[in-house]
Amino acid sequence: MNPVIVALDVDSGARALQLADALHGSVGAFKVGSRLFTSEGPDLVTRLVDRGERVFLDLKFHDIPNTVAQAVEAAVATGAWMVNVHASGGVPMMQAAVRAGRDAAAKLGRPSPLVIAVTVLTSMDAPTLASVGVTRALDAQVETLATMARDAGMDGVVASPLETAAIRAACGPGFVIVTPGIRGASAGVSKDDQHRTMTPADAVKAGASYLVVGRPIIGAPDPKAAADAIAADALAALGTNA
C-alpha cells in the first residue's frame, strides 16, 4: 500500500473533498483531524469512505475507559480505517479502545479498524515535556508509551520519525508506526511547528509504516505533483529495504 496519509487540515468539507478528488490514487489514505471533524462532523468521514477512500480519524481520544470505548464505537460507525487514542491515558483505557473497535466492527459486519496510540506529539521537545512533569528523556518516554500500547493490544502508535527505529526494535515488525513530522528536502518545505522531523525516505528506512503529510502536500501549488513525489520517495526507500 502507498504509505502516504494526507492530513486534510483545511477549513471546510468542500475543500477536503476537492483535495481528496485531486489526490485520489496518489496517496494511501486521508486524515481527518479535530479541526475538520469539529466543523463538518462524522458525515464527512462517511462521504470519504463511500468514495472508496481510507480514512484515519485523528481525534486522539483521552478520557475514562468507558467514554473512550463509546467514542471508538462511534468512530467505527463512520467507516474509519484507523482511529487513535493517547497512550498516556493508560493501559485500561487503551484496552477498552481495542475491545470497542473489535466489537463494534463485528456488530456492523466490517473489518476492525486499526486502533493506535499517540506517544509524544511531534511539536514537543525535551524542555516542553519536562514542563508538564515528565522526567524521563523524550526518547525513553516514547518507547515506554509504545511498549505500553503494544502490551495493551493496540495495533500500533503515532510517533515522530526520530523515535521510529527504537520503537520498531522494541515492538517488532508487525507493529504499525504512523509517522507525522515529515519535512526536509524531500518534502520541500520548512519544519513549521514540528520539532522532530525527517524526510519521507529516511522515515521509511527507519521503520515507519505510514507517513502523515499535511502542509507539504495541501499547501503546494500542485498538490498531486507534491504527493506523487513524496510517495515515490517513500516507495523507493521501501524498495531498498525489501
What is d(CA 70, CA 64) in angstroms, rounded to the nearest whole number?
A: 10
Angle between helices 65-77 and 91-108 (to 10 degrees): 30
Strand pairing of 210-213 and 4-7?
parallel
Query: What is the distance in angstroms between the CA of the first residue and the CA of the last residue of the chain?
Result: 14
Which residues are part of the catalytic machinery? 60
Closest to 217 in 3D by CA, of 29, 55, 47, 12:
29
